[in-house]
Amino acid sequence: MRRISTLGYSVKQGMKSIVHNRMYTAASIGTMTACLFLFGILYFVVANFRYLMEEAETTVGITVFFDSGITEEEIGEIGEEITNHEDVDRLVYLSADEAWEQYKEEKLSPELAATFGNDNPLENSASFEVYLKDVEKQAEVVAYIEGLDGVRQVNDSQSFADMLSGFNRLVGYISAAIILILLGVAAFLISTTVSSGISARKEEIGIMQLIGAADAFIKGPFVVEGIVIGLVGAILPLAVLYAIYYRVIEYITESFDNVFSRMEFLDIQTVFQTLIPVSLLIGVGIGFIGSYLTVRKHLRKGLIGD
């Protein structure tokens, strides 16, 4: 019962402090909302960028050519060994006849192609196109395939794979830096709000200290205040972001039609099943930590009740 009573007191006093310091509260909620709104936009960009990069990675293939005179059965065995590798997603077989038909269609005029008659100058060009689960594993897979019997040559796309990996890392670093800055600003504003609440109730808190009130009892209302600010500051941007997500995607595809017209973006359920818990956790976490550390600092320094 005592714990329930303490909790009730903390909630009541915390809500009163929010109303009493409504200007600081509004500023904190506004800042938190702005920070998490920008965080949400950043998450839209990063999540969709990573999704597009993953889609691009699935098109980065390793081309495998075979020794001359190899049989279809031996090719099938090589394909089975490649498929069994843990980093291989799938492979596509292109026969010599299919390679020649493809080459004629892309490179030769009908008249020039007709001069070859039934001859196939690419009779030893049957190949596998190997696609990986993780493009960063390309070098390992290439080395593995080159060691297989019957493999004559392996053409990789290491430079393109390195470029994709580099983009992913760069986006990760930039995102982390921006998020840390936004969270720092939000924590500072909540700390300021809690400090103003401490100043407003300084005499009351000093009396509570004199009669032996525990620090946890004193901290409670301020922690509640910070959590409520963080929670409201997280819910508001989530509602706005949910309403505008498709409009943002539509704007991007229309404004940059030449770049994004053929690309697919993440659906709203996939995005928000991660964004909602993360944003709520960030909002409540910053509210709790910011308020808790602020009031603890004041208690330790003896600034309350002087």
- Burial readout 148-170 (b: 16 or more C-beta within 10 A, e: otherwise): eeebeebebbeeebeebbeebee
Closest C-alpha to 151, from 95, 75, 85: 75
Q: Which two tokens stand for residue 60?
A: 């980065």
pLDDT at site 235: 92
What's the rounded Cα separation, in Å, for the pair 207 and 212? 9
Q: Which residue has the tokens 């993780």?
A: 134
**Cβ 67 vs Cβ 149: under 8 Å:** no
Say which CATH topology domain 61-156 has.
Alpha-Beta Plaits (3.30.70)
Apex 274 CA angle, 270 and 280, nearest 5: 140
pLDDT at site 201: 59
What's the rounded Cα separation, in Å, for the pair 279 and 272? 10
**Cβ 62 vs Cβ 142: under 8 Å:** yes
**Cβ 36 vs Cβ 283: under 8 Å:** yes
**Domain locations in the chain as residue ranges:** 2-56+168-301, 61-156
Per the rule left: phi > 0, alpha: psi between -120 and 50, beta: everything else, 154 is: beta
What's the rounded Cα separation, in Å, for the pair 262 and 284? 39
Q: SS in 3 state form for the chain?
A: CHHHHHHHHHHHHHHHHHHHCHHHHHHHHHHHHHHHHHHHHHHHHHHHHHHHHHHHHCCCEEEEEECCCCCHHHHHHHHHHHHCCCCEEEEEEECHHHHHHHHHHHHCCHHHHHCCCCCCCCCCCCEEEEEECCHHHHHHHHHHHHCCCCEEEEECCHHHHHHHHHHHHHHHHHHHHHHHHHHHHHHHHHHHHHHHHHHHCHHHHHHHHHCCCCHHHHHHHHHHHHHHHHHHHHHHHHHHHHHHHHHHHHHHHHHCHHHHCCCCCCCHHHHHHHHHHHHHHHHHHHHHHHHHHHHHHHHHHCCCCC
What's the rounded Cα separation, in Å, for the pair 112 and 96? 19
What's the rounded Cα separation, in Å, for the pair 273 and 227? 22
pLDDT at site 176: 77
pLDDT at site 236: 92
pLDDT at site 306: 40
* Strand partners of residue 90: 131
> Would you give per-residue pLDDT tens digits along the chain (306 residues)?
555 556 676 677 667 766 776 777 787 788 788 888 888 888 887 788 777 777 766 667 788 888 887 888 888 888 888 888 888 888 888 777 676 676 666 666 666 656 666 666 566 677 888 888 777 778 888 888 888 888 888 887 766 666 766 777 777 777 778 777 777 776 676 666 666 666 655 666 666 666 666 666 777 777 888 888 888 888 999 999 988 887 877 777 777 666 555 667 788 888 888 889 988 988 888 878 777 777 777 666 654 444
Amino acid making up residue 13: Q
Q: What is the pLDDT of residues 46-59, one digit of tens each?
A: 788 777 777 766 66
pLDDT at site 208: 64
